[in-house]
A and B are shown apart, each in its own frame.
Chain A
Amino acid sequence: MKKIVYTLLVLLGACLQGLAQQTPAPVQKEAITITGATAHIGDGTVIENATLVFENGKIIALGTNETPKGTVIDAMGKHLYPGFIAPNKSLGLIEVNAVRASNDQDEIGDLIPHVRSLIAYNAESKVVESMRPNGVLLAQITPQGGRISGTSSIVQFDAWNWEDAAIKEDDGIHLHWPNSFRRGRWWMGEERGFKPNDQYDEQLAEVEGFMQGASAYGKGTAKETNPAFEAMQGLYDGSQTLYLYADGEKEIIDGITMAKKVGVKKVVLVGGYHAYKVTDFLKQHSIPVLVQFTHNLPNFDYEDYDLPYKLPKLLSDAGLLVALQNGEASNFQTRNLPFYAGQVVAQGLDKEKALALITGNTAKILGIDNAYGTLAVGKSATLFLSEGDALDMRGNQLLYAFIDGRKLSLDTHQTQLWKRYMGKYEGK
């Protein structure tokens, strides 16, 4: 038995690390100019026939009449985008879902804000690497599970280690709000389906008690450190964001009301399946929404078949700040982020606004818009050039990608296998 376990570990090790990861790119040495591209800014606007110049990792010029500098990339007919940003992911925290040894995404305990994702983030994950050829270059790495799952950090996808990867450390706390209805525990003989959660009020009180406790702790001078309370302090001074996961109308209203009551400064709603029914409330409290991704089924049979497709549009049309997240999907799916946004275009949302759902809006919500999320002078040169429309699988074909001006390899474990086996067949 021991032998089997050992063999498995060795095998696993061999497979997970057998093929080398792409080496992180060196810092940008000379200026690069991209000319003639359709530049999709990420804030809802577009510049045709644009020239963009970046140097030392920063965009130094962007317009239709800019002077090229350094290496010039002729991008006539091509499309230029800011790097896509994936919020609420456990990329780098788990490699193979079914292999327990590779799982670092869910710590035990229900209220564990002190658990930090960043230090477990595997910058050399093959799954992370596979994001890049689709334009997904940044993510918020988030612990999963429990009521308060921990503290997230924001990383970029071309790094030697987690320290290099971090672009915003410990940006927020993730609170999964209780549900007023719960699924039947069929394995205990209950009917499948929804029934009222008779512990909702109790669960709500528990969260509120904890949040109030953390707030009081911060005001006092406790002699003994409480790591959980300690980790919450950024919420009350506004240096950290509370990511509140709620889907139902009641849950959304309860959650936000409580967060405000206990003095949380910044709240972002995550999920928001029925947020479109409480848009007035959300606007009144200026709550941005990281809405669930579009490739989902309606929760209830009587709902429109395309409700998940159009959710971001419904919220966007109501005047809310909206971005997309696919926290509930497997990490590997996150490379489909651009197509989640594309799906909303089919529902009538303007293409550039749809792009903002995974770039400019996301950066604003995550608080990294000073450097990322849009193409603008002074911001990081984290961007890519695509053969065609990057929100459509027909056009998403990356030619170049840059993070902080560094030119990335677009190869992956997967492209290598492709080449290797095509080589085998073509060599015959």
Chain B
Amino acid sequence: MKTRLLALALFCGGLLQAQDYFPKNDGVKSKNNNYTAFTNAKIYVTPTQTIDGGTLLIQNGKVVQSGKSIALPQNTVVVDLNGKWIYPSFIDAYSKFGIEQAKRAPRSGRTAQYDSSREGFYWNDHVRPETNAISNLKYDDKKAKELRQAGFGVVNSHIQDGIARGSGVLISLNGKGNDADRILNDRSAQYFSFERSIANNQSYPTSLMGSMALLRQMYHDASWYAKGNIATKDRSLEALNKNKDMMQIFYAGDKGHVVRADGIGDAFGIQFAIVGGGDEYERIADIKETGAKLILPLNFPKAYDVSNPYHATYVSLADMRHWNQAPANPKILAENGVSFSFTAHDLKSIKDFKTNLLKAIDHGLSKTKALEALTTVPAQLLGASGKIGSLQNGRWANFLITSGDLFDSKTTLYENWVQGHKNVISDMSLKDIRGDYTLSAAGNTFLLSIRGEAGKPKATVKQDTIKLSPKFSYKNDWVVLSFTDKDKNNYRMTGLVSEASDNLNGKVVLATGNEGSFTAVKTKAFEKPEKGEKNEKAPPELVGVTFPNIAYGNTLIPAAENLLFKNATVWTSEASGILENTDVLVKNGKIAKVGKDLSTGGAKVIDATGKHLTAGIIDEHSHIAALSINEAGHNSSAEVEMEDVVDPEDKGIYHALAGGVTSLQLLHGSANPIGGRSAILKLKWGESAENMIYDNSPKFIKFALGENVKQSNWQSFSRFPQTRMGVEQVFMNYFQRAKEYEVRKKSGQPFRYDEEMETLVEIMNGERFISCHSYVQSEINMMMKVAEKFGFRVNTFTHILEGYKVADKMAKHGAGGGTFSDWWAYKFEVNDAIPYNAAIMQSQGVTVAINSDDAEMIRRLNQEAGKIVKYGGLSEEEAWKMVTINPAKLLHLDDRTGSIKVGKDADLVLWSDHPLSVYAKAEKTIIDGATYFDIEKDKQMREAVKQERNRLINMMLKEKAGGGKMQGAKMKRKELMHCESL
């Protein structure tokens, strides 16, 4: 007891020490060079190095030594820990501690702000590497206390706003020192994200792909600046270059973004440490491949309250599953050798940190890995292993004293020492007074029972059999107890607990004001309720992960099979036309044979009698499977890539497969005259984005004309172009500049690498093709003339609803047309759109495809082709080509897919009926010989989905009954995308 008070006094003296060379006028200078030794402890020097019954010796805030038997210097204060445990305290590498949240900039009216608001910095206000946490830091005592209570000793804080967020600061949560002591590193890590600065209104970038392109261009420009090629001052690029020596940390926030961030790093030789989202387990192989160290928010979703069956309707299977599976994420990452640290970022209440930590352990995370994630990994990640993260000699004396195993729910955290300063969380010197007592006061007898946690016990008082409602506290060795007895007399008592006796006694004051003394004689020691210990918790029940991890995901990603379709009506989309009673053999993902009575050769036989086999449908214009569609921040966005934002988890992919679609072009939207680069996908449901994108994919870009790029249909009057006249000038200017760019590039002189210009040069050189959103004849004609001026060809006009008016010119130019079957009347420029358009263009020699631009219509493109027979009288064979070989031609994929021809990819659909008919259903949709949609399997999946939902709902009801924390029913919902989606 005395020791405790003494130690406290000594350290209070110590912390008032100022720097040696500072003048002192309020007393005399004095120094405390005493040692403190913590003896008889189990010490985790590192997560893997422990000392039983060891001693930890510290001096001047640092660890001097630890070991089993240490010779203690004479000026040592000894604290006998009596079997307690010592751990290094935790480190949070992703914190905003002490930094004021950026304030949302007021919206600047309807007119977009295109230019930067700063001078002498990078052209984009969302790139702010010059900002730093140290200049914005204000030590937050209250927050520090909360964090220490959760076990943290050091955090790396930074400004969480913008795409390049500047440098962080490594700070000890040392409430007793000042910033001179606390700041361990004022240039600690450089931070990035994909998210715009909320404090700035500059319009670019509006999209994820824009953020990604901006980051790339930023790195190109930084290196251009470093070489001294920019005459003016750019403090942003200067800072970015200067901060290169730090650890680079990227806030991703979900598994897909982890891969995206890592990809950007790879392109510039940077290995980011990446803040994840807790869903990495769903794509563990891809995450592992990044090689990145992760920082994981220790935040698990709460169960949904589904007790109202109507509410349950609004909870998706994916969200239910994530609730169930997410706590296993750390374990799965650890098992796969992914190194990670934990952060309290994202937690609404810091108290959930320990709950979630224990949950992760319950779900199989090893205690060693957990401790590493809290100590050594973040230390290493921040390049601060020499200072923090362990209790090796010379490290800061940042450590926890606990009653036992840190990862046991019953363990008490007593103290969190930071830089040699004690912070009491729960008083460990308190005597355990729990037990039953006979309490006598003022001639009355009561039964006092003290239970609960030793450090924070609770009391009940009974008079005979009547339960009273006492107020009780036990702090700093004093008990305070008050209650009212059955005769409404009140008692107030207090007493100091004595080390010598198990009984309690002290002073009592009665309602009358009379004072006396009370005694409480211990009759029974406290018995730990050991029952719970015996029945070990059953391991958590987890549902299986599918690819993607939503309803109708695949348990296993489909593999190619050798298949023989017997006796089908085969629509070849080739000169051979429609073949009756024909067999098609698929081998190794390719079409191996087409003919009559083919032998099986070991292939799986599918009886296709009475059915129709066609090539898979190709949609030349789609916006499904995308996380964003338009980068609307500039009128040209040639630098952005749809490949960056492919969303392989969009159920729209499954819907499209169920409609017989096997490939599509994922186009940028129509916000800008010069849009972004396309992604061309095979709809391999369950695969990663990367595996859906065609190998050696033909390169495409979206252009757009007319009302959307003029911003005619909403209140926007500031952006060039506002007229079709201006649209032409945008193209003329960009292509002229690209030409000049190429000349300089080829000249061997140094040049600023420009992602936009590179793309336009590709177009002029015929290496990248244009798919141009267009409606009226004047603009179609204009675009062809611009192309001809710069010596290239417009590959495809998409929408092209007035193509029929200039079909002869298009044929001469060599442009194809991808059009709607029967859309019109939705805006002024489609007033003359007619459903005969496709047939007329075809009649003039234009290669015509029917496309969707719509998540619903994509699953009925066979019917849309059927309409071309109705409108314009095309033959059924030719109409069918408009959704197969013709789009393949437009996409330069006709040597690989789009028809049934030996040697081509086995991208096939088996239809129940004539494929142009409204009555036809796709029964099997096959890509590269693997079946991605099967109507029979779909039936089984329906049943499985129903059962799994039910199982999870029951689990959540159980969670609710068990008092678990719940959240209200809600559903995240993807927006259905089309050309104009922002």
Contact = CB atoms under 8 A, between A and B. Distances in A.
26 contacts: A97-B826, A98-B827, A98-B828, A126-B825, A191-B970, A193-B970, A194-B971, A297-B976, A300-B314, A301-B317, A301-B318, A302-B552, A302-B945, A305-B654, A305-B859, A331-B825, A342-B918, A392-B866, A393-B917, A394-B917, A397-B870, A415-B834, A418-B872, A421-B807, A421-B840, A425-B844
A96 B826 CA distance: 5
B968 A418 contact: no
B843 A414 contact: no
Contacts of B856: 295-297
Nearest to A397: B870
A301 B827 contact: no
A14 B972 CA distance: 46
A392 B919 CA distance: 7
Contact of B968 (A180, A195, A249, A396): A195
Nearest to A412: B834
Interface string A327-347: 000111001100100110110
B316 interface: yes
Interface string B830-842: 0110111000100
A192 B981 CA distance: 14
A254 to B, nearest CB: 11
Interface string B934-976: 0000100010010001000000000000000000111111111
Contacts of B822: 332, 335-336
Contact of B828 (A96, A195, A397): A96
Contact of A392 (B655, B917, B921): B917
A205 interface: no
B670 to A, nearest CB: 13
B367 interface: no
Given A183-B973, A250-B310, A12 B836 contact: no
Interface string B307-327: 000110110111000000000
A296 B857 CA distance: 9
In this complex, which of A193, A330, A391 has the most chain B Cβ atoms within 10 angstroms of its Cβ? Answer: A193
Judged by DSSP, the binding face of B is: loop
B918 A332 contact: no
A343 B659 CA distance: 13
A332 B823 contact: yes
A295 B828 contact: no
B866 A97 contact: no
B598 interface: no
A16 B651 CA distance: 40
Given A196-B969, A418-B872, A425-B840, A346 B313 contact: no
B836 A300 contact: no
A156 B248 CA distance: 69
B823 A421 contact: no
Nearest to A305: B658
Contacts of A330: 825-826
Given A96-B831, A98-B827, A418 B973 contact: no
A105 to B, nearest CB: 13
A393 B843 contact: no
Contacts of B550: 301
Nearest to A306: B658
B808 interface: yes
Interface in A378-428: 391-394, 396-397, 414-415, 417-418, 421-422, 425, 428
Interface of B: 310-311, 313-314, 316-318, 550-552, 651-652, 654-655, 658, 707, 712-713, 804-805, 807-808, 822-828, 831-832, 834-836, 840, 843-844, 855-857, 859-860, 863, 866-867, 869-870, 872, 876, 912-914, 916-921, 938, 942, 945, 949, 968-976
B918 to A, nearest CB: 4
A304 B840 contact: no
B827 A97 contact: yes
B855 A297 contact: yes
A297 B655 contact: yes
B810 to A, nearest CB: 12
B863 A302 contact: no
Contacts of A15: 828, 831-832
Contacts, number: 164
A339 B867 CA distance: 10
A20 interface: no
A414 B870 CA distance: 14
Contacts of A421: 804-805, 807, 840
B693 to A, nearest CB: 23
Contacts of A332: 822-826
Nearest to A336: B822
A95 interface: yes
Contacts of A108: none
B804 A192 contact: no
B714 to A, nearest CB: 9
Nearest to B933: A305
Nearest to A16: B831
Given A193-B973, A250-B310, A305-B938, A393 B869 contact: yes
Given A97-B825, A98-B713, A193 B942 contact: no
Contacts of A397: 870
Contacts of A12: 828
Nearest to B825: A332
B920 A192 contact: no
A277 B550 CA distance: 23
B275 to A, nearest CB: 20
A5 interface: no
A184 B974 CA distance: 11
Nearest to B837: A418
B968 A422 contact: no
A98 B914 CA distance: 37
Interface in A88-105: 95-99
